[in-house]
Structure formats: C-alpha cells, structure tokens
Amino acid sequence: NAGVTQTPKFQVLKTGQSMTLQCAQDMNHNSMYWYRQDPGMGLRLIYYSASEGTTDKGEVPNGYNVSRLNKREFSLRLESAAPSQTSVYFCASSERQGLYGYTFGSGTRLTVV
C-alpha cells in the first residue's frame, strides 16, 4: 500500500550509541516531518522539511539531526543516544503544505538503556 514507511519498527540502544531512523514516502509529497511521542503525551515536532533541500527545527530539535536525502526520503539521526530520547518516533509527509492532511507512518519504538 502507498504511504509512509519507517524502519526499523523497534530498536534498543545503549546510552551513547548512534543510529539513524529511516523514512520514505511514495506519494510524491513535498513536505516531510519527524515527531516523537512520549507515553501518555501528544506528538511533538522534532524537525521538518518543507521541500527537498530544506530542513528546519521544530519544537524539540536538541539531540537530533536530519537529512532530506531526496524527495522520497527523510532520515533522523541520533548522534549520542540518551535515555531521555526513549520514545516512539513518527514520520509524516504532506502535499499542499499540509492543508489536505498529513500521512503518518506506523512509528519506530526506540528504547535507550
């Protein structure tokens, strides 16, 4: 099915390790987003890319970097993971700057021990 694909679905890291979360969409959307969701909380925007070649900080960017590799792919990197980054990470994409809705992936559940 068309949509947003996130890999991996689950990951356990040790404090200080690095990893990259991958996201790809096949809907030809211009804009892509990374969110995190802590238990019992709403989603918080980490970074977004309004179009290919641009990235901007969201509400909680500290400790993360992003790369908009091409129109389809938007990756999120944790350079030195911390327990506070234990969360579920969602990638999303949209066209028309999101007016007609965002499409979300199914999430990556990350635990940092």
> What does the DSSP 8-state code read for residue 73?
B
Q: Is 102 in the site for another protein (CB under 8 A)?
A: yes
Which of 21, 92, 110, 112 is the binder for another protein (CB under 8 A)? 92
Q: Least CB distance from residue 68 to another protein, whole Å?
A: 15
How far, rounded to the nearest angstrom, does the alpha carbon of residue 39 sit from its chain's CA centroid? 17
Return the residues of window 16-75 that contact another protein according to CB under 8 A: 33, 35, 41-45, 48, 50, 58-59
How far apart are the C-alpha atoms of 33 and 55, rounded to whole Å? 9
What does each C-alpha distance from 9 to 4, 20, 28, 82, 113 come to in angstroms? 13, 12, 23, 19, 17
Contacting residues toward another protein, per CB under 8 A: 4, 33, 35, 41-45, 48, 50, 58-59, 90, 92, 97-107
